[in-house]
Structure 1
Amino acid sequence: MAEAKGANTEQRSRTIERLEARAGEHACGGFLAALDDLQRTELFTTLIFDRLQRKMRTVEALRREAADNWNQTFYLLYFRTLGDRRNQEAYLELARRVPYRVVLRERRVPHAIEAMLFGASGLLDLYRNDEYTLNLRRNFEHLAAKYDIRPMKAAVWELAEIRPANHPVLRLAQAAEFFAQDEFVMDRTMACRSEEDVRRLFGIEAADYWRTHFVPAAESDSRPKRIGAFKANIIGINLVVVLQFAYGSFMANERLRDSALSLLERLPAEDNRYMRDWAAAGVRPRNAFESQALLQLATEYCPERRCAECPVGRRIAKSIPEMQ
């Protein structure tokens, strides 16, 4: 009996070693692909809670920074989610320099939010002026003096090789319109229950000037500069779901936490290099719940070959039958 158990333990150790050796190729892909729906959901749920707990630490840090103000927390997280990863800190710094309380006070003044965001970002310094941007500059001078807003250096923004649709200038124009629409954006975020709800709330179009501009003073073909479905869904995953889950946890509201998980199941899976790697390993996520679980594996376990700690690796090792 002891010898059988020893052999079984050794076999499981060898299995983990083989998984670790090919962790970069997602050696567990075949196992995941062969699971039935119930087993797959069980494993992915463990990974989702793992991922949401990590993201909640970010929300908690922002909430402390916001002095327990959930509207400011939402505002900070919105800017953190708005652009590309390289500019995440720049967006956050901008949100700190132009806080939500100031945005609310000036919300009804045409182009005031836009003037504050562009002026404080420093980005207008990179482009020649036209009548529209000169007006933004003049408005910012007044608002900066009124609220003691100090502009950032334009050099903090990473602009090389960035897609026009994801350029910080365009994202800030869209953000200005988003926060000008009404003062209950966090409440509406908490009420999102479907992909359509998310797109309706966050698929905002920039002001008319940007129909013919991607950047200031350089005209382009006329087209609406709206946050598209792909970006809106990313906001749904990284802002709406995370904030619903975090706020639900803070308020001990299980219904809101459940709504966050249900929304993940209703949002489409991401399409990125991580998901393409998983597809090559035989696993295709059916929705954002599954793609976020796979992303947790790909970013938190596979790179460091943590197969012995990974829920999937442990399940594979456990599946080796006990020797009698």
Structure 2
Amino acid sequence: MAETETRTIERLRAGAGTYACGGYLGGLGTLQRTELCTTLIFDRLSRKMRMVEALRSEAADNWNQTFYLLYFRTLGDRRNQEAYLELARRVPYKTVLRERLAPHAVEAMLFGASGLLELYRNDTYTLDLKRSFEYLAAKYGIEPMEASAWTLNEIRPANHPVLRLAQAAEFFSQDEFVMERAMSCRTEEEVRKLFCIEASPYWRTHHIPGAESDESPKRIGAFKANIIGINLVAVLQFAYGSYTANERLRDSALTLMERLPAEDNRYMRDWQSAGIRPRNAFESQALLQLAAEYCAEKRCAECPVGRRIVRQTADTEDRTADILAFPEK
């Protein structure tokens, strides 16, 4: 490796923790920026496809159950991903489908199987849920989880598993063809129309079971719906399009990410501080891939952004200082 190239890689690695290449990315023209983001997006989608493939294998090649598992995986916070998935395994989609015309029964199965009702005091509604679950558990052989499987501390009320399960029950009760509708989403408006679901009336006056609160609709908000659009709809469109050799559906997944707003999280705020503001979810997902797979591991020599910077700094050392937005140590 040439001396200048080695020095450039060392400087990139030294600044990886603060995303020192952010200023360089922010200064690229639209075409170059899109080209780099596309490389990173395909990198990220390839990784996510492996996750979908594992779920599809678990679901015995049933794409509706795969969608169902991925929905629950995406529904809550990262700390409870495994708990949501375990619940979706204990109450599979085919069971929900059989009770779909009775939303209260779907709610009873999800709450009863989650074990969460045992944490709260009873009222008329929750006692009715428990009685319904006893019958449905015997009917379908559902074994409830331990409530300890859930992490409930420091969770915002709007993202509490209890509310998310109430919303999930309503979502899967509304339509038998939710996967088909998700596959047809092409815009942010269509994603929100499908996923901004309000929980059943009881939850208007309750954040948790058995404790009344001020009345307000408990609806999945636009921010959460957009996250579902990114991590469920676009990913499944790309995976299903790849499985069926449907290039139009794969392209639709990329277009949908371009039409959804960028996430607002600590990663994006750090990238903005470093000099680049993502314009949409396509770019924010590319930056997440860059941060997680390259910056965090200091894999600058393998990174598509790092390789481009190395090529541009091959001629003069001074150019390196211009490109990298951090002082040499």
TM-score range, shorter chain: over 0.9
Report the AA paired with residue 200 of structure 1.
K
1:77 aligns with 2:63: no
1:297 aligns with 2:286: no
| Residues in 1 aligned to 2:203 and 2:293: alpha-carbon distance in whole angstroms | 39
Within the candidate set 210, 216, 224, 2:217 is matched to 224
Hey, what's the Cα distance between the residues in 2 that align with 1:56 and 1:293? Answer: 15
- State the alpha-carbon separation in 2 of the partners of residues 166 and 155 from structure 1: 18
Distance 2:100 2:47 in 1: 33
Match of 2:325 in 1: none
Matched, 1:157 2:150: yes
Give 2:161's aligned residue: 168
Aligned residue number for residue 24 of structure 1: 17
Mapping of residues 40-51 of structure 1, within 5 Å = 40-51=33-44
- Pairwise CA distance, 1:148: 0.2
Q: Deviations over 1:203-222 (max 9, x none)?
A: 00000000000100111110
Cα deviation, 1:146-193, whole Å, max 9, x if unaligned, reads 000000000010000100000000000000000000100000000000
**Distance in 1 of aligned mates of 2:252 and 2:193:** 18
Structure 1 residue 318: deviation in Å?
1.0
CA distance in 2, matches of 1:274, 1:46: 19
| Structure 1 residue 135: Cα displacement | 0.5
Report if the CA contact (8 A) 2:103-2:169 is conserved. no
Alpha-carbon distance in structure 1 between the residues aligned to 2:108 and 2:138: 13
Residue aligning to 1:111: 104
The residue that corresponds to 1:3 in the other structure is none
Q: What secondary structure is seen at the aligned counterpart in 1 of 2:207?
A: strand
Deviations 1:87-135 (A, max 9, x none): 0000000000000000000001240100000000000000010000000
CA distance in 2, matches of 1:110, 1:70: 23
Shift of 1:12: 1.1
**Secondary structure of the corresponding residue to residue 299 of structure 1:** helix
Residue 73 of structure 1 aligns with an amino acid whose one-letter code is: T
Distance in structure 1 (CA, Å) of the matches to 2:292 and 2:206: 37
2:238 alignment counterpart: 245
Quick check: 2:191–2:225 contact (8 Å CA) kept in 1?
yes
Report the AA paired with residue 264 of structure 1. M
Distance (Å, rounded) in 2 between the aligned partners of 1:119 and 1:133: 10
> What is the aligned partner in structure 2 of residue 311 from structure 1?
304
Deviation >2 Å, runs of 4+: 320-323
Using the TM superposition, give the Cα deviation of residue 22 of structure 1 relative to its aligned residue in structure 2, in angstroms.
Answer: 1.1
Question: Residue in 2 aligned with 1:94?
Answer: 87
SS in 2 for 1:111: helix
Supply the distance in 2 between the matched residues of 1:184 and 1:250 (Cα, whole angstroms).
19
Given the alignment of the two structures, is residue 143 of structure 1 paired with residue 169 of structure 2, yes or no?
Answer: no
- Report the CA distance between 1:300 and its aligned residue: 1.0
Q: CA deviation at 1:322?
A: 4.8
Change (3 A) 1:35 1:281: same
Match in the other structure for 1:184: 177
Alpha-carbon distance in 2 for matches of 1:224, 1:166: 14
Please say which of residues 296-305 and 160-169 is displaced more in the overlay: 296-305
Count of aligned pairs between the two proteins: 316
Amino acid at match of 2:129: L
Cα deviation, 1:32-87, whole Å, max 9, x if unaligned, reads: 01100000000000000000000000000000000000000000000000000000
Instruction: Map Cα deviations across residues 254-292 of structure 1 (whole Å, 9 max, x no partner).
Output: 000000000000000000000000000010000000000
Cα distance in structure 1, aligned partners of 2:180 and 2:45: 21
Contact 2:5 2:314 (8 Å CA) reproduced? no
Normalised to the residue count of structure 1, the TM-score between the two structures is 0.96
Distance apart, 1:304 and its partner CA: 1.0
Gaps of 5+ in 1: 1-5
Look up the SS of the partner of 1:68 in the other structure.
coil
**1:39 paired residue number:** 32
Matched position secondary structure for 1:193? coil
Contact conserved, 2:114 with 2:145, CA < 8 A, in 1? Answer: yes
Shift of 1:321: 4.5
Shift of 1:10: 1.3
AA aligned to 2:232 is L
Give 1:320 deviation, angstroms: 2.3
Question: How far apart, in 1, do the equivalents of 2:314 and 2:137 lie?
Answer: 69
User: Is the contact made by 2:122 and 2:210 (CA closer than 8 Å) also made in structure 1?
Assistant: yes
Structure 2 unaligned blocks of 5 or more: 317-329
Of residues 21-30 and 122-131 in structure 1, the stretch that sits farther from structure 2 once superposed is: 21-30
Give the match's secondary structure for 1:214.
strand
